[in-house]
Chain A
Amino acid sequence: MKAPHQTTCLVVDDSAVIRKVARRIIEDLGMNVSEAEDGSAALEACAVSMPDAILLDWNMPNMDGFAFLQALRRSEGGDAPKVLFCTTENDIGAIARALRAGADEYIMKPFDRDILTAKLEQVGLVADAA
């Protein structure tokens, strides 16, 4: 019998603290979490196994979140993951730019458990409490 698919989420952030906080919240929601510390490491991870969701920082060394998103959406199967930016780039222009590039949701830092949970509900990856 095939095991039920466990939803997977890749957390991409150059801050180990943010990755740890996000991992704890997302794992509590029953998802399987992996981590990458910049955009290029995230692209490599996606080439091996495409996650269901990506929580994506914007400003990172090597490849930033925006460049990663553009590359991801061009790659094979890269249109599938729900991408949630999670960034201090809280300007309305940055949000609009991210959505145009293919982001599904946008989390402005600082965030808390309620916000991250609500946003994952918003993109249909967590059954909402209602």
Chain B
Amino acid sequence: MTELEFEYLRNFLKQRSGLALTAEKRYLAESRLTPVCRRFGIASLGDLIGSLKLAQNGAIERAVVEAMTTNETFFFRDRIPFDLFRDTLLPEALARNAGRRRLRIWCAAASTGQEPYSLAMLLQEAGPRLAGWQVEIVATDLSTEVIEKAKLGLYSHFEVQRGLPVQWLIKYFTQVGEQWQIAPSLRAMVDYRQLNLLHSFASLGQFDVIYCRNVLIYFDAPTKSDVLARLAAQLTPEGALLLGAAETVIGLTDRLNPHPKHRGLYGHARPAAARPAEMVPPLRVAAGV
């Protein structure tokens, strides 16, 4: 791949997915796109870039974007964001929404489904506390390929052994040959949709909790700012946004503030003067949690 071709690829990925590919990631582009060439019978990376320029084959364009995005995920990844949901965010939302008995969660970069299904398992474990509630988990991803895998809920024995307690494996999965499939009742809890984070979120509505973890790290600063501001617009007034451990809102948006106690947790920023006296601070957390 020539310098010019690599430059074209960088611009293409930035426009299509927000992915900011740095010059030193050239090796990554070459290793991930070579299989795409083989799949479409294209002789070289140069020819692949040539076909992107012609903009005549949507399947090749999608394959290039999907090959360059990282889909690594596992059940209960990093544990703390899920402990926080079970111990703090869920009980608070149940108290706050007790009148309308509705809870909406969005996994904004759901990949192959481990994150939304981890939340679905925690919600099942909450049992009778959610009886009569309308609970919705919306899970979106850029890649239609990973969404199809997520919908199937079929995982290898390697995938179900990272982060998932074995007791929950036998409780919520069935064995399908060498693989494990998550229970239909949990699959039915998750509404999968293809969504590019560069596009509008307005049709999704408002959410009590948004997980958008380990995706902003691939964007440049202006794209991060734009996505964060639009995520804030989809959060209910007391809603919670969870980012990955290496991500932050600081210096990127003034619409969100980090929680003072919980790393990776963010809520709406409100000037003290604008806050009604009786209004509790956003993301109030029970003492001792």
Flag B215-257 by CB within 8 Å of A: 1 or 0 each.
0000000000000000000000000000001000000000000
Q: Which residues of A contact B157 (CB under 8 A)?
A: 90, 108
Contact between A118 and B161, CB atoms less than 8 A apart: yes
Interface size class of A (residues with CB under 8 A): 20 to 34
Q: Which residues of B contact A99 (CB under 8 A)?
A: 166-167, 170
Complex Cα–Cα for A99 and B174 (A): 17
What is the number of contacts between chain A and chain B, taking CB atoms within 8 Å? 36
Q: Which residues of B contact A114 (CB under 8 A)?
A: 162
- Is A76 positioned at the interface, with any CB of B under 8 Å from its CB? no
Contact between B161 and A107, CB atoms less than 8 A apart: yes
Contact between A118 and B166, CB atoms less than 8 A apart: no
Within 8 A of B (CB), among A84-130: 90-92, 95-96, 99, 105-108, 111-112, 114-115, 118-119, 122, 128-130
- Is B126 positioned at the interface, with any CB of A under 8 Å from its CB? no
Q: Which residues of A contact B79 (CB under 8 A)?
A: 128, 130
Contact between B161 and A95, CB atoms less than 8 A apart: no
Complex Cα–Cα for A91 and B161 (A): 14
What residue of chain A has the Cβ atom nearest to residue B157's Cβ? Answer: A108
Contact of A92 among B80, B163, B165, B170 (CB under 8 A): B170
Known: A92-B175, A130-B78, A130-B80. Is A115-B166 also a contact (CB below 8 A)?
Answer: no
Known: A90-B157, A111-B161. Is A105-B170 also a contact (CB below 8 A)?
Answer: no
What residue of chain B has the Cβ atom nearest to residue A114's Cβ? Answer: B162
- Is B1 positioned at the interface, with any CB of A under 8 Å from its CB? no
What residue of chain B has the Cβ atom nearest to residue A103's Cβ? Answer: B166
- Is B158 positioned at the interface, with any CB of A under 8 Å from its CB? yes
Q: Which residues of B contact A108 (CB under 8 A)?
A: 157, 161
- Is B63 positioned at the interface, with any CB of A under 8 Å from its CB? no
- Is B123 positioned at the interface, with any CB of A under 8 Å from its CB? no
Q: Which residues of B contact A92 (CB under 8 A)?
A: 170, 174-175
- Is B169 positioned at the interface, with any CB of A under 8 Å from its CB? yes
What residue of chain B has the Cβ atom nearest to residue A118's Cβ? Answer: B162
Q: Which residues of A contact B163 (CB under 8 A)?
A: 118
Contact between B80 and A112, CB atoms less than 8 A apart: no
Complex Cα–Cα for A112 and B245 (A): 24
Complex Cα–Cα for A109 and B166 (A): 14
Contact of A95 among B80, B158, B166 (CB under 8 A): B166
Q: Which residues of A contact B165 (CB under 8 A)?
A: 105, 122
Contact between A115 and B162, CB atoms less than 8 A apart: yes
Complex Cα–Cα for A128 and B245 (A): 14
Known: A128-B79, A130-B80. Is A119-B170 also a contact (CB below 8 A)?
Answer: no
Complex Cα–Cα for A92 and B80 (A): 28
Complex Cα–Cα for A99 and B167 (A): 8
Contact of B158 among A106, A112, A128 (CB under 8 A): A112
Q: Which residues of B contact A112 (CB under 8 A)?
A: 158
Contact of B161 among A115, A128, A129 (CB under 8 A): A115
What residue of chain A has the Cβ atom nearest to residue B78's Cβ? Answer: A130
What residue of chain B has the Cβ atom nearest to residue A106's Cβ? Answer: B166
Known: A90-B157, A130-B78, A130-B80. Is A95-B162 also a contact (CB below 8 A)?
Answer: no
| Closest CB in chain A relative to B74 CB, distance in Å | 8
| Closest CB in chain B relative to A13 CB, distance in Å | 18
Give B contacts to A, CB under 8 Å. 78-80, 157-158, 161-163, 165-167, 169-170, 174-175, 245
Give A contacts to B, CB under 8 Å. 90-92, 95-96, 99, 105-108, 111-112, 114-115, 118-119, 122, 128-130
Task: Rank and list the top 9 A-B pairs by shortest CB-CB distance, nearest first.
Answer: A106-B166, A130-B79, A130-B78, A115-B161, A130-B80, A108-B157, A118-B162, A92-B175, A105-B166
With A92-B170, A96-B170, A118-B163 known, 7 other A-B pairs at CB within 8 A are A90-B157, A99-B166, A108-B157, A108-B161, A128-B79, A129-B78, A130-B80
